[in-house]
A and B are shown apart, each in its own frame.
Chain A
Amino acid sequence: MLKDITIGQFFPGDSIIHRLDARMKLIVTFAAIIEIFVCRNFYALALTVVYAVAAVLLSKIKLKVIFRGLRSILFIILFTSILQIFYNSKGDTLFEWWKIKITTGGLIAAAFMVIRIVTLILISSLLTYTTSPTTLTDAIERVLSPLKKLHVPVGTLAMMMTIALRFIPTLVDEVGKIMNAQKARGADLDTGSVIQRAKALIPIFVPLFVNSFRRAYELAFAMECRCYSDAEHRTRLKVMKLHARDFGYLGVDLLLLGGIIALNILFGKQI
């Protein structure tokens, strides 16, 4: 169950995508997500699909992993596309019954939406697949560092994110242990009505929260003992450097943007 959720996971590797500077990856991914929504027709959308597929292939992430990630959001994809079918009433009517009307426009819109979401997931999950969580938070901190001028505590926020990510495996482990302990005392987590099942979670969540608070106190204490403060001018163990390939990546993305705009103008609005 938990094992199937691959979105947000990191898969170590040594592909060109893995080696790109995390800051550039972050910015380009963000730009690409916006570009997906700029697309106004299937030709432009096809271009983003080509871009996403090329990036996936270059990353050398197993396709099995990528499909598993998509499967976990299958419900969202289906739900939005069904909404599109009923919401859009342009084009010829194919089927009509009571208040339900399916039109060609609706089907096209649904197909467009499915492709859009899948591309979106591909591009955004590729970022986390190929970037370790710590590098990613580091990159976020640096990309956001201009905000420091506006007194936004960027360093502190980044530290909070790092800590949160760091404790996910610890908490997963702990949930497993507590579940085993309560199961050993006869807790029944799998049967009964919804309310019974919700109630059955109390013996799991109470210790989990109590232990999390305990850990938080311990960590805060340990950080204080090491004189941690969010003072400026902290130096880094790993200094990020931009290479030619990073600018190349940015160039590809700009080309994609140019292509989308050109195709938008050339073929007009389809959706």
Chain B
Amino acid sequence: MSVILETKGIVYRYGVGTPFELKALDDVHFAAEKGAMTAIIGHTGSGKSTLIQHFNALLQPEKGQVLLSGEDVNRDKETKRRARFRVGMCFQYPEYQLFESTVYRDICFGPKNMGLSEDEIRVRVEKAAGFTGLTKSMLEKSPFDLSGGERRRAAIAGVMAMAPEVLVMDEPAAGLDPKGRRDIFRLIENYRTSTGSTIIIVSHSMEDVAAFANRVCVMRGGRIVMEGTVDEVFSRYDELRQMRLTVPKITDVFHTLRARGFAVDTNVYTVEQARDAVLRALGKAGDAAC
């Protein structure tokens, strides 16, 4: 697969020249494969949010480059503007950015800024509403009359309606209950498979990362310290624990089982894998008993 978005050794400092100067990004090399879902995990203050703001040129790196399909996004005004549309960005708690009189008009905001025709906009809005499960009657309501979860989906639809090639989401499921969280991840996954878009997701929920992401990137102190498939990253259990990062709960369970002397695999990250691992272990144990 080819790389669509990558950063080459970017450095970014906040508050340069003040006593509060802080190096938020330190020589970051990040790459997102086209059509894949890449998850970025790490603690608060590890530089995740700063990094993603470079993807659509909201921030410009001090050093290094951000390349979108091989083109430097910070080259001039035109490339920056193009990056805004090609890389859709959905920040944390996006429901607080809704402002229009109806949900429909709010979703139109992005596509309108792109200068699309009325007909094209209507098609886009309907498509985005379909992905996010917003009904016709919801589209006519004021965004402030929707429930919290509905508002979240309306805001996500506003970004999806721009049909970005890369969709970046910062904690899209923050503050939602477990079911709402799963629903958001499912709709993102559904969006990815049916449009072929690239997804970059920042999340604290390791369960969801394990279940949905293709690749995982671990950040710490403004650097990327681990990068690989879900299996490659989560199998480095002890290192993650040392960084005080969690792994999926179910992985914890299997590590504990192993420590207590059960012959189970520890590369278990989802409940389905757990079932298979238990059956495998029991099967072996059964064989031994015979």
Contacts and interface: CB of A to CB of B under 8 A. Distances in A.
Contacts of B58: 180, 183-184
Contact of B91 (A177, A188, A210, A211): A177
Nearest to A180: B58
Interface in B79-131: 81, 84-85, 88-91, 94, 96-99, 109-110, 113-114
A150 interface: no
B210 interface: no
B162 A185 contact: yes
A206 interface: yes
A233 to B, nearest CB: 40
A258 interface: no
Nearest to B98: A207
Contact of A184 (B88, B99, B114, B144): B88
B97 A207 contact: yes
B99 A203 contact: yes
B113 A185 contact: yes
Interface residues of B, number: 23
B109 A185 contact: yes
A203 B85 CA distance: 18
A178 interface: yes
Contacts of B96: 177-178, 207, 210-211
- Chain A interface SS verdict (over half): helix
B159 interface: yes
Contact of A180 (B91, B114, B144, B162): B91
A183 B94 contact: no
B138 to A, nearest CB: 18
A187 interface: yes
Contacts of A16: none
A181 B170 CA distance: 11
Most buried by B among A178, A181, A185: A185
A180 B49 CA distance: 12
Interface in A172-202: 177-178, 180-188, 202
Most buried by B among A177, A184, A207: A184
Contact of B110 (A180, A186, A207, A210): A186
B191 to A, nearest CB: 17
Contacts of A188: 113
A210 B144 contact: yes
A266 B84 CA distance: 69
Contact of B84 (A177, A183, A207, A210): A183
Most buried by B among A180, A181, A206: A181
A184 B94 CA distance: 11
A13 to B, nearest CB: 12
A184 B113 contact: no
Contacts of A211: 96
A191 to B, nearest CB: 9
Given A178-B97, A210-B144, A184 B109 contact: no
Contacts of B56: 184
B162 A181 contact: no
Nearest to B58: A180
Contacts of B91: 177, 180-181, 184
A211 B89 CA distance: 21
Interface string A208-220: 0011000000000
Contacts of B172: none
Contacts of A185: 109-110, 113, 158-159, 162
Interface in A201-242: 202-203, 206-207, 210-211
B53 interface: yes
Contacts of A187: 109, 113
Nearest to B159: A185
A150 B89 CA distance: 56
6 closest A-B pairs by beta carbon, nearest first, are A186-B113, A206-B99, A184-B89, A185-B110, A181-B97, A203-B99
Given A184-B90, A203-B97, 11 more contacts: A182-B97, A184-B58, A184-B91, A185-B109, A186-B81, A186-B162, A187-B113, A203-B109, A207-B97, A210-B96, A210-B99
Interface of B: 53, 56, 58, 81, 84-85, 88-91, 94, 96-99, 109-110, 113-114, 144, 158-159, 162
30 contacts: A177-B96, A178-B96, A178-B97, A180-B53, A180-B58, A180-B91, A182-B97, A183-B58, A184-B56, A184-B58, A184-B84, A184-B89, A184-B91, A185-B109, A185-B110, A185-B113, A185-B158, A186-B81, A186-B84, A186-B109, A186-B113, A186-B114, A187-B109, A187-B113, A203-B97, A206-B99, A207-B99, A210-B96, A210-B99, A211-B96
